[in-house]
Amino acid sequence: MSKKFFFKTVLSIVSILITPVIGNAQGITQFGTPTNQNAFPKGEYIELNNPQPTDISSWKKINKTHVVWGSKNIRYDKNRIPTAIKSSRNHKIKAWKGERVNAQLLVFGNKDLNLKVTHKGDLTEEIKTSFVRYVMTDELNKDRQGACGHRPDITIFDSSLVADVLDCISKELPYRKNTVQPIWVQVQIPQNIKAGIYEITIFVQNNDVTIDKLRLNIEVINRTLPQPADWAFHLDLWQNPFAEARYFQVDLWSKAHLEAMRPTMEMLAKAGQKVITASIMHKPWGGQTEDYFESMVTWRKNIDGSWHFDFDVFDCWVEFMMSCGINRQINCYSMIPWSLSFQYFDQASNKLKTIEATPSDSVYVDVWTEMLKQFASHLKEKGWFDITTIAMDERPKEQMLSVFNIIRNADKDFKISLAGEWHEELEAELHDYCIAYKQDFPDSILQRRKERHQISTFYTCCTEPYPNTFTFSQPAEAEFLGWYTALTGLDGYLRWAYNSYTLEPLLDSRFRSFAAGDCYMVYPEGRSSIRFEKLTEGIQNFEKIRILRNEFKSKNQAKKMAKLQTILDSFSRENLNEKQITDIVEKANNELSKLQ
């Protein structure tokens, strides 16, 4: 069997297994709710019905269509008249050159409309407007201590529509009376722009008739953020290309698959993403997502008993991600999967088979040693060896110690990464070590890791009730994470799922395991979200703080340094209350703007 024929055969088997044929079938959500439209909608789509009742009596008091500035830190209820709105028709933002800034306006009234948004004035080419769309969400576990655990019955949890999707695809949107329609306004400040005041007028229209207009004034100060690719913040949001193939109903690794993913991955690069997530064996996480991770490395046992590993898919994925602007690191999962079972193609029987073995078993040692030797040789040929890590996720200390020896015996220069519990016995071997939000690196070890240019980050998952990035989380919680990184001296943040979509991600963010939104942060076709943009704002603040710290230190500006530290101290997790987070973030932004 030729290599090319073998590769195509195995790839076709994988495609059949994980990419169901849907065609124009009617959509249905994770929990059996018909969507009343085709499955996996592209372009325009219809939101699910709101399960929460509308108080019509309150809406009867509205005698016109209102267009007002709101707060970007509030998810406005779809069926309630908003209260946290600004009386001024002008909204002011202070920005650095190179910064991406956001604002949110609201439309609500007693007439059906066909909404359009236009703008004129300064920075016309840098403005992006999106309709904020509503997606189904749920809530934390009943003890409010987290959001882990199986959720087979949606009646256990309250369900509601929540504002999150930033729909940049739809250029107009039907508006139904007695509801709220938020609109997200984003401006990318050019790096080479002159400092000064820039004025923008936003027009909200019914078809082509202007309903109202608002003004946005941006004061650009004489400070500059680097390009996202040059940000120091180590962002590691795990990508799932298999979810994209299922949603777009395309063959894995086809040109159509890659191009369907491109807007979403380029959006990730613009947030400063540093890491390419690669799966080098079958189901490294046991199939916990709607679309499990298949191996990007083809494992083959030859008739003579020798092993061969094909890296064509791995190369395709890495080269694609690099073309999207993500090229700093490649994390390869996992030598210690959740189920210690390893799938391979057996040439003698012409079948897929599995090996079940632990890191202490000789068969495990033999096959992984051979795999890593061939992998190291291939990575060196491609010029990727120095940026690649052999990565593990939340694995026991004893198993980690075992695989260290296997990795070093295969190639002593391999880098290793782990996202998991803090263990001092593991630290020295880990180039990239990510620990849980409620754990700490000892100060001396963190400093040593910095001196060695090792990466030290933290993560949140379903365990942390807040701060987090569920679809029901306060928007400010996502921004909080960047500030917290600056406070602790860590290098960045990791989250396990950037785009592991639920069955119908645009409509229903709930999942059979974990709280709503835990599986993904953005939406198909390059649609961002409120929480993703707020996370990016926190990363930008991390970069501002880094730049200011260096300047204050070099100029011996002790008072400014002390003031900056006072701002950061408010982000300590000690005695942090969920209700405080938005106030903490807004106050910190105000104080930082004065310090600049």
Q: What are phi and psi of 89, to 5 degrees?
A: -80, -15
Res 12 pLDDT > 80: no
Q: Residue 185 domain-assigned?
A: no
Q: Residue 194 domain-assigned?
A: no
How large is the average pLDDT for residues 146-167?
90
- Give the pLDDT confidence of 559-589 residue by residue, as tens digits: 999 999 999 999 999 989 999 999 999 999 9
Domain containing 539 equals: 233-290+312-334+385-595
By the 10 Å C-beta count (0-12 exposed, 13-18 middle, 19+ buried), 573 is classed as: middle
Joined tokens for residue 96: 């650095």
Q: Residue 275 domain-assigned?
A: yes
Res 118 pLDDT > 80: yes
Q: Which of 122, 285, 266 is nearest to 188 (CA)?
A: 122
- Give the pLDDT confidence of 223-239 residue by residue, as tens digits: 999 999 999 999 999 99
- Give the pLDDT confidence of 241-254 residue by residue, as tens digits: 999 999 999 999 99
Q: Residue 455 domain-assigned?
A: yes
Q: Which of 402, 397, 418, 398 is nearest to 369 (CA)?
A: 402
Residue 31: per-residue pLDDT: 86
Res 596 pLDDT > 90: no
Residue 21: per-residue pLDDT: 45
What average pLDDT does the structure give for the chain? 95
Res 17 pLDDT > 50: no
How large is the average pLDDT for residues 175-186?
98
Residue 11: per-residue pLDDT: 52
Residue 417: per-residue pLDDT: 98
**Rounded CA gap, 8 and 303, in Å?**
19
Residue 175, beta-bridge partner list: 113
**Lowest mean pLDDT segment, chosen from 13-27, 78-92, 335-349:** 13-27
Q: Residue 543 domain-assigned?
A: yes
Residue 9: per-residue pLDDT: 45
Confidence of residue 115 (pLDDT cuts 50, 70, 90): very high
Confidence of residue 257 (pLDDT cuts 50, 70, 90): very high
CATH number at residue 544: 3.20.20
Kindly report the number of other CB atoms within 10 A of residue 154's CB atom: 19
How large is the average pLDDT for residues 391-400?
95
**Rounded CA gap, 108 and 212, in Å?**
12
Percent of the chain with pLDDT over 70: 96
Does residue 82 have a cis bond before it (omega within 30 degrees)? no
How large is the average pLDDT for residues 338-357?
96
Residue 157: per-residue pLDDT: 86
First-to-last CA distance in the chain? Answer: 65
> Concatenated DSSP letters for 44-81?
S--PPPPSS---HHHHTT--S-EEEE--TT----TTS-
Residue 22: per-residue pLDDT: 52
Q: Residue 512 domain-assigned?
A: yes
**Rounded CA gap, 39 and 49, in Å?**
16
Q: Residue 430 domain-assigned?
A: yes
Which is it for strands 351-356 and 341-346: parallel, antiparallel or unpaired?
Answer: antiparallel
Res 368 pLDDT > 60: yes
Confidence of residue 10 (pLDDT cuts 50, 70, 90): very low
Res 262 pLDDT > 50: yes
Check: CB of residue 151 under 8 Å from CB of residue 236.
no
Residue 103: per-residue pLDDT: 98
* Alpha carbon distances (Å) from 272 to 229, 332, 474: 5, 20, 22
Res 20 pLDDT > 60: no
Res 7 pLDDT > 50: no
Res 85 pLDDT > 90: no
How large is the average pLDDT for residues 289-314?
98
Q: Residue 76 domain-assigned?
A: no
What is the number of structural domains in the chain?
Answer: 1
Residue 13: per-residue pLDDT: 47
